[in-house]
């Protein structure tokens, strides 16, 4: 496993975002937790540390705040070959009820899974002491529960995936059941389970050993920190996503050392090495409807492009659709999904095609990638998230925090994030006309959109910042230690 360095974050940085009651609650809660964690190492294991995936976004600040409290918190990510990454991607999407991946979960896959995780466990087991706590994230790490428990740790498994099997397609339900059957034996060793959404609890969990804890966003991270509109436009233009010259030096806060070179050269390129994979940059003066996502069929990017094209007449003439995701590695499942989206757009009538823009943003430098996403979310007129399933949409919370009005699928955890008509709009993920109407209403009535954006910001402040999240995780750790 690899250790990821995380700088301590003082809670005092969070307090300006909280009202007095929340700040009090946080101080009291962490004081109690400090005693609980005294003398223990708090390990967090994620499948990857690459930008563009939810767990990475939430883990970094939580580990940072724990370190800021003086807890010995450490973040590890797996060392895994490409075949393992493909296998864990399959587990992840099958749990979501995705029927797109027709691969296998047989003995060969189990050997690969166990072999990879055994060598990762070996690499860290010697550093784990009796009573340490390990939080494993997502299906890729579940197989570490037994060896790390044997090393003396209390093991919590946190799953960011899931699907409501009561409403999923029957083939999807079968896939989900197969994925859970594959994981079941590893999870028997977990002392506690955390999921993001009530309806997406794994089938085998005991209610008393499982907590529902939605993630949070870090308001001061490069992804969410305030950018004024000049900064946001400069970054979005320098990345090549929007047309026009950056009004002033983009990234003035990132000093020298060539850190923006990869982005600058990708912005200037065409084809697979470029940022813009379709449609070129969004033209000046357009009102942009943006979705930011990983390239995963469950995010519904292809269906979104088609819904946009089929309902062009319901949208103002200057409405453009922008799809943004991280640049995928070649030959990966994400690269295939991106190709599928580009191909689907190429088949659309020219009138729609010329108003759809697809951007793949380099992701090696997490900070730069995050700033580009931040800028895109800010300069957009509407942010949409048309996921088919979603345990929690970080991208929804990120846009709401930025006061950009949101139109999202009313599925899974998104239903707890957005109150329809109050701080955003919820639509059926299979109803393109309803989606276009909800977007058009926001574009045509900017005052209403601004009001919704302001309410959304307050909703996130109340429910989806790290104070609530941190306290709930600390409660779950206390329950796991009982
Ligand atoms: N993201 C990013 N760069 C990209 C695309 C996505 O940093 O090019 C981030 C996005 O801003 C969000 C996370 O990846 O913070 C995705 O989390 P979400 O909960 O929306 O979906 P998940 O990937 O966990 O299914």
pLDDT beyond 80 at 266: yes
Dihedral sign for Cα atoms in the order 45, 473, 92, 432: negative
Asked whether the beta carbons of 163 and 195 are under 8 A apart, the reply is no
Least Cα distance to 279 among 241, 309, 251 occurs for 241
Is residue 266 within 8 A of residue 241, CB to CB? The reply is: no
- Determine if ligand 1 sits within 6 Å of the CB of residue 54: yes
Mean pLDDT of 261-267: 89
Task: Give the pLDDT band of residue 256 (cuts 50, 70, 90).
Answer: low
Q: Which protein residue's CA is at the shortest distance from atom 11 of ligand 1?
A: 395
**DSSP type of residue 137:** E
Tokens of 197: 């959404």
- Rounded Cα distance between 18 and 2, Å, is 34
pLDDT tens per residue across span 147-186: 999 999 999 999 998 877 777 778 888 888 999 999 999 9
Asked if 316 and 286 count as a contact pair (C-beta separation under 8 A), the reply is no
Alpha-carbon distance of 349 to 50, in angstroms, equals 35
Helices (DSSP H) in 380-445: which residue ranges?
394-401, 414-417, 432-444
Q: What is the pLDDT of residue 259?
A: 86
Q: Quick one: average pLDDT of 439-448? A: 97
pLDDT at 203 over 90: no
Of 147, 143, 114, 6, the C-alpha closest to 69 is 6
Q: What is the pLDDT of residue 52?
A: 67
Distance CA 417, CA 394 (A): 10
* Cα diameter, the chain: 64
Q: Going by CA atoms, what residue is nearest to atom 22 of ligand 1?
A: 54
Phi, psi of 398 (to 5 degrees): -65, -45
Q: Regarding beta strands 276-278 and 356-361, do their DSSP bridges make them parallel or antiparallel, or are they unpaired?
A: antiparallel
Quick one: average pLDDT of 461-479?
A: 95
164 phi/psi in degrees, rounded to 5: -85, 100
Q: What is the mean pLDDT of residues 277-293?
A: 97
Q: Retrieve residue 262's tokens.
A: 């990869």
Give the number of other Cβ atoms within 10 Å of residue 400's Cβ. Answer: 30
Q: Is 370 in the pocket of ligand 1 (CB under 6 A)?
A: yes
Q: State the Cα angle at 200 between 171 and 180, rounded to 5°.
A: 55
**What is the Å distance from ligand 1's center to 311 Cα?**
26
C-beta 51 within 6 A of ligand 1: yes
Label the pairing between strands 382-385 and 154-159: unpaired
Phi then psi for residue 256, to 5 deg, are 40, -140
Beta-bridge partner residues of 291: 323
Check residue 162 and give its pLDDT.
Answer: 82
Mean pLDDT (the chain) is 93
User: For every residue of 231-253, which 3-state class applies, written as one string?
Assistant: HHHHHHHHCCCECCCCCCCCCCC
For 111-123, the pLDDT digits (tens) are 999 999 999 999 9
Report whether residue 61 contacts ligand 1, using a CB cutoff of 6 Å: no
Residue with CA at minimum distance from ligand 1 atom 14? 52
The pLDDT of residue 99? 67
DSSP E strand stretches across 180-259: 192-195, 210-212
17 has pLDDT over 80: yes
**pLDDT for 27 beyond 80:** yes
Q: Give me the percent of the chain exceeding a pLDDT of 70.
A: 99
d(CA 57, CA 65) in angstroms, rounded, equals 13
What percent of the chain shows pLDDT beyond 90?
79
CA atoms 56, 61, 64, 69: torsion sign: negative
138 CB near ligand 1 (under 6 Å):
no
The pLDDT, as a whole number, for residue 313 is: 97
CA-based nearest residue to 266, from 360, 355, 374, 334: 360
Taking the centre of ligand 1 as the mean of its atom positions, its distance from the CA of residue 400, in whole angstroms, is 14
Whether 102 shows a pLDDT value over 90: the answer reads no
Predicted local distance difference test score (pLDDT) of residue 50:
82
Q: Is the CB of 52 under 6 A from ligand 1?
A: yes
Of the ranges 45-59, 301-315, 362-376, which is most confident?
301-315
Identify which of 197, 432, 422, 394 has the alpha carbon closest to the alpha carbon of residue 305. 432
* Residue 395 Cβ contacting ligand 1 at under 6 Å: yes
C-alpha to C-alpha distance for 73 and 460, rounded to whole angstroms: 26
Strand (E) or helix (H) holding 277: strand 276-278
Average pLDDT over residues 55-83: 92
Instruction: Taking residues 280-289, report their average pLDDT.
Output: 96
Q: What is the pLDDT of residue 98?
A: 73
Q: Is the shortest distance between the CB of 398 and ligand 1 below 6 Å?
A: yes
CA of 251 to the centre of ligand 1 (A): 21
What are all long-range contacts of 453-456, with beta carbons under 8 Å and residues at least 24 apart?
Answer: 453/400, 453/402, 453/403, 453/404, 453/405, 454/403, 455/422, 455/423, 456/399, 456/400, 456/401, 456/403, 456/405, 456/406, 456/418, 456/423, 456/424
Cβ atoms within 10 Å, residue 317: 9
pLDDT at 272 over 90: no
Cα 456 to Cα 200: distance, rounded to the nearest angstrom: 24
pLDDT reported for residue 171: 80
What ipTM goes with this model?
Answer: 0.99
pLDDT at 100 over 80: no
């Amino acid at each position: 496993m690899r250790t990821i360095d995380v700088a301590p974050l003082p809670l005092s940085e969070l307090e300006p975002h909280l009202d007095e009651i929340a700040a009090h609650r946080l101080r009291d809660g962490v004081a109690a937790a400090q005693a609980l964690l005294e003398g223990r190492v708090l390990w967090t294991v994620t499948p990857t540390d690459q930008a563009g995936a939810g767990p990475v976004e939430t883990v970094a600040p939580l580990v940072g705040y724990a370190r800021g409290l003086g807890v010995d918190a450490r973040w590890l990510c797996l060392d895994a070959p490409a075949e393992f990454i493909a296998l864990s991607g399959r587990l992840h999407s099958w749990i979501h009820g995705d029927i797109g991946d027709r691969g296998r979960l047989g003995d060969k896959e189990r050997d690969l899974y166990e072999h990879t995780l055994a060598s990762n466990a070996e690499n860290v087991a010697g550093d784990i002491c009796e009573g340490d706590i390990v939080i494993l994230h997502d299906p890729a790490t579940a197989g570490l529960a037994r060896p790390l428990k044997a090393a003396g740790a209390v093991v919590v498994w946190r799953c960011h995936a899931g699907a409501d099997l009561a409403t999923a397609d029957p083939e999807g339900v079968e896939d989900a059941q197969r994925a859970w059957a594959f994981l079941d034996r590893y999870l028997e060793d977990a002392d506690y389970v955390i999921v993001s959404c009530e309806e997406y609890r794994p089938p085998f969990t005991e209610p008393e050993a499982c907590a529902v804890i939605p993630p949070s966003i870090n308001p001061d991270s490069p992804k969410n920190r305030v950018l004024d509109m000049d900064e946001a436009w400069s970054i979005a233009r320098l990345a090549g996503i929007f047309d026009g010259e950056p009004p002033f030096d983009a990234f003035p806060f990132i000093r020298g050392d060539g850190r923006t070179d990869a982005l600058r050269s990708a912005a200037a390129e065409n084809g697979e090495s470029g940022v813009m994979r379709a449609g070129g940059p969004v033209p000046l003066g357009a009102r942009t409807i943006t979705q930011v996502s990983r390239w995963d069929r469950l995010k519904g990017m292809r269906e979104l492009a088609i819904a946009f094209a089929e309902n062009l007449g319901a949208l103002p003439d200057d409405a453009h659709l922008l799809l943004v995701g991280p640049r995928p590695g070649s030959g990966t499942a994400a690269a295939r999904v991106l190709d599928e989206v580009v191909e689907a757009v190429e088949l659309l009538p020219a009138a729609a095609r010329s108003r759809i823009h697809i951007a793949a943003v380099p992701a090696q430098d997490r900070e730069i990638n995050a700033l580009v996403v931040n800028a895109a979310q800010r300069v957009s007129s509407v942010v949409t998230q048309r996921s088919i399933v979603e345990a929690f949409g970080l991208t929804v919370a990120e846009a709401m925090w930025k006061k950009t009005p949101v139109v999202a699928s009313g599925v899974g955890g998104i239903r707890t994030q957005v109150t329809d008509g109050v701080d955003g709009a919820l639509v059926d993920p299979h109803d393109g006309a309803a989606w276009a109407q909800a977007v058009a209403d926001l574009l045509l009535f900017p005052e209403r959109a601004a009001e919704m954006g302001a309410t959304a910001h307050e909703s996130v402040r109340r429910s989806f910042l790290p104070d609530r999240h941190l306290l709930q995780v600390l409660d779950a750790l206390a329950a796991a230690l009982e």
